[in-house]
Structure 1
Amino acid sequence: MGFEVAAVRARFPALADGRAWLDGAAGTQVPESVIDAVTDVYRSGLGNQGAAFATSHRLGGLVADARRAVADLVGAPDPAGVVFGPSTTALTYRFAGALAAGWRPGDEVVLTELDHEANVGPWARAAERAGAVVRMAPLDRLSGTLRTETVAGLLNHRTRLVAVTAASNLLGTMPDVPAIAAAAREVGAVTYVDGAHHCPHAVVDLPALGADLYVTSAYKWYGPHLAAVVAREPGLLDGLAVDNLRPVTGTARFELGTNPFPALAGVAAAVDHLAGLVEGPGARRERLARSMAGVVRHERGLAGALLAGLRDVPGLSFLPGWEEPAGRRAPTVSFRLAGWSPAELAGELDRAGVNAWHGTAYALGAAEALGIAGSGGAVRASVNLYNDSSDVSRLVEAVRKCATGRGPG
């Protein structure tokens, strides 16, 4: 079963500008239902949790609803394992500090070249402060993949943490996270998985994925600028000491200050939006699995058309990873064009009405490994559920005009 993309597009006010929004890996647009949910909180009155009056109870309910929504989205067994924060970067620094409190000199952490810097820098700095050793798993330069055996070969009884992405936001490739998590578990290491570019493009099943901690950003799946770390087993959080005020207990210990109630309402609305893309009965988790399966099929079709359209453009070269099977990559395509810097090409695409990212996308390890960090990175086009074939055609035609010496105008 699928969904009618024209009907879905009509729910997103930003798309009315007529542009091809192919920059979702940097942040997606939001549907009207999310906008309404956020503004309704402001209209209904604000306060704080813990008071006796009705507004306080309502706001506390928003927090609980948001935890349940994210747990359903990623298939987590218990909403008590959902921790909110302003961004994946902020939350990763928070958890790096908490986990590193138990590290000792000589302990080891395993990071990867494939990861966004947000899943590298916080751990590297925490390891440095603790006297722990950082071991970096290299990506395969030819295929753009992170091989399981490469990561597993770095693990030993001193390994305390494995931080790995579930999908590269630059190359699109998806490591075998279940296998990596299983290898980490064998040596007693915690697995922290960056799902920021994975969650919008997959039917996420946290127990099957095997990650101990999974971080995701709502603004990558049509919600507000808010992020969440989800623990596969909430008991893992109980054993972590974090700085907070004395009255704060439970999961809220990881969340500093007053909750952003309007944004949390938007998070729940975004999950409900995803759950309703494909019609059918069932609890929200069941509906999410059905809808996200439809999203995956739709996005893979568009990404395949995008790759096919760009393959024969003179002077165009893809970054490694584009030849991976559709099931092993996100619908993200990064490329360079001879004679054009990525910034120049992105500028021409802008003039053609196409939003596409350029640069390293903060995936510094991958960009450095591929030798493009110092030359502008690449142009990245990322397909999302609200994109259609006309978006793909417009980008392909604009790039083709640039390749043949004609500007899109």
Structure 2
Amino acid sequence: MQYRRFGKTELKMPVFSCGGMRYQQSWTDMPLDEVEAANQANLEATIRRALELGVTHIETARGYGSSERQLGVLLPTLPRDELIVQTKIEPHADALVFRDQFEESLDRLGLEHVDLLGLHGVNNHEVYWHTIKPDGCLAMARRLQAEGKVRHVGFSTHASPDLVLDAVRTEAHGGFDYVNLHWYYIYQRNWPAVAAAAERDLGVFIISPADKGGRLYKPSERLVELCDPLHPLVMNCLFCLARPEVHTLSIGASCPSDFDLQMTALPMLDRAAELTGPIVERLDAAMRDAVGADVAERYLEGLPDWERTPGMMNLATILWLRGLALAYGMTEYGQMRYNLLGNGGHWFEGLNPSNCGDWDSEKLAKAVKDSPFADRIEGWILETNDLLGGAEVKRLSQS
């Protein structure tokens, strides 16, 4: 294993972390006596395999169902000073509720402290305010830190790039010590936040590069072709870790063997940029060929955010997924993400045209008037819905 300094925390962070959202018994909390013996055995085998590989960072969350309770059977039996344990708690309007939930999570884990406490899902301005307000959850997290129950405080986010950057830059209550965010080859919009985190010496943890980064454990044939001679998952690992600003990538392991493919990237890390450079050039060229060079470079220009778009459609996400499907054959991934629009709460905001009801072409044209592609966007929306949504779309003007 290779390790990197995790920003101002000074933790020796492995470049791969063990994420705790796939090996648990249930996505809802449940008593331990209802956990199947086989599931608990698999969880314990997964953690022990991680440690054998040098993956000393064990990451989970209160929101991951039975994950904390099941980990709490094993973690107290392991050498505590050899582990970096992180859990995450969603910010609440009442910071005392946040504290109570943290205390319960600490009890579930069977630990006296966690090394990293993440404020989970700082995804919109309301949750951000619950986090940074004078009597908010970040202030409470700092109190828990002063009490010795938390070593370092960060946040996780699926927010728009502007909000992520604001949160990285906040000075409220001393700011954050680290950030969990999305950044990988197919989604690079958060690079300004990664760069700002480096300027402020924050640890940078990349969320779900294998799954949200493109379901790379099950890549399309086109993606396999473009990434040759590397497996797309290995290529993405090297692409991310070629940047020293990135410290660790999450492996959301469901079983011990889920670490194997990513681990093959380790001997190549010292040549990461060299090995991925030609592949990135091919991927970039494939996108330009599929959608046009001007569109590949400028499709986000002039787009309103989803709250100011007719039907609250998330145009940035719709057009991004269109490009991935056309250039890389990532239809299955696109369908998964596209159909989260309208079903993902503040974790995946905005709607797609199948679930936003009737929408008015004239209003859409007015909303996107500043886009260099204003006259083409409606057609792209319909094309994407047909490709990824599969449901008939009726505009108000057609009814």
Tell me the TM-score normalized by structure 2: 0.37
* Structure with greater contact order relative to length (CA < 8 Å, sep ≥ 6): 1
Tell me the TM-score normalized by structure 1: 0.37
